[in-house]
Chains A and B, each alone.
Chain A
């Protein structure tokens, strides 16, 4: 059974700090990874996708992928109270088109 693991949190950071969200996955051949943000009572929305080892930056967000360690992370710079949400990591399970989700990490950004 393929798995994605996340620390459920909550992760609490002060406004303006860097928030670091982490995710590990079990499938060694997985090729694609996605970070979704989900506000309470709402549906997930895509923040970042990453397919290659290394870093990918988009505004205040940076996704990092290390396939050797089977580790994905999301860094949020200059965290804002509006970033307070649950962040879901997903593994684009190889060759099936399905996503395998972690349980999500709740982020709280305190003013």
Chain B
């Protein structure tokens, strides 16, 4: 089955801790994206990557970091600098073109202990 997987489904972070969210796709898409969704809100772009070894900041990149070492993988690290990390995190992928649809993974819900 082709698709996007995210893990874990739920993640708990302690104060001062960095945590990493996994995103993997087997759709052979060039572009990958990370979004954050807060309750009752739309999606806000954190980071995106058009090709391997290259990525760009989105609208709310502060307190987050990413890497893109493989086409299939785009992990997101929520650092201790992100003071309000509780949210639903969504990974998406697409063919790189403004006309192309983005497909979403199932999401990771991050909670602070």
A101 CA to B107 CA, complexed, in Å: 17
Residue contact A97 to B43, C-beta cutoff 8 Å = no
Q: Which of A39-47, A54-62, A63-71 contacts B (4 or more CB under 8 A)?
A: A39-47
Closest Cβ of chain A to B46, distance in Å, is 12
Query: How many cross-chain pairs have Cβ atoms below 8 Å apart between A and B?
Result: 60
| Number of residues of chain B lying within 8 A (CB) of chain A | 26
Chain A residues touching B, majority SS = loop
Contact between B48 and A98, CB atoms less than 8 A apart = yes
Least Cβ–Cβ distance between B49 and chain A, in angstroms: 11
Q: Check A44–B101 contact: CB distance below 8 A.
A: no
B104 touches A44 (CB 8 A): yes
What are 22 inter-chain pairs, A to B, with CB distance below 8 A? A6-B42, A31-B99, A32-B98, A34-B101, A36-B104, A44-B43, A44-B90, A45-B104, A46-B101, A49-B101, A88-B43, A97-B94, A97-B98, A98-B45, A98-B58, A99-B33, A99-B43, A99-B45, A99-B102, A101-B35, A103-B42, A104-B42
Please report the C-alpha to C-alpha distance between residue A43 and residue B105 in the assembled complex, in whole angstroms: 7
- B residues 84-98 in Cβ contact with A at 8 Å: 90, 94, 96-98
Give the A-binding residues of B (Cβ under 8 A): 31, 33, 35, 40-45, 48, 50, 58, 90, 94, 96-107
Q: Which residues of A contact B90 (CB under 8 A)?
A: 43-44
A45 and B35 alpha carbons, distance in the complex (Å)? 14
> Judging by beta carbons under 8 Å apart, are A51 and B101 in contact?
no
Q: What CA separation (Å) do A45 and B101 show in the bound complex?
A: 10
Measured CB to CB, the closest approach of chain B to A89, in angstroms, equals 9
Chain B residues with Cβ below 8 Å from A51 are 99
B40: chain A residues within 8 A (beta carbon) = 8, 103
- Which single member of A97, A102, A103 contacts B31 (CB below 8 Å)? A97
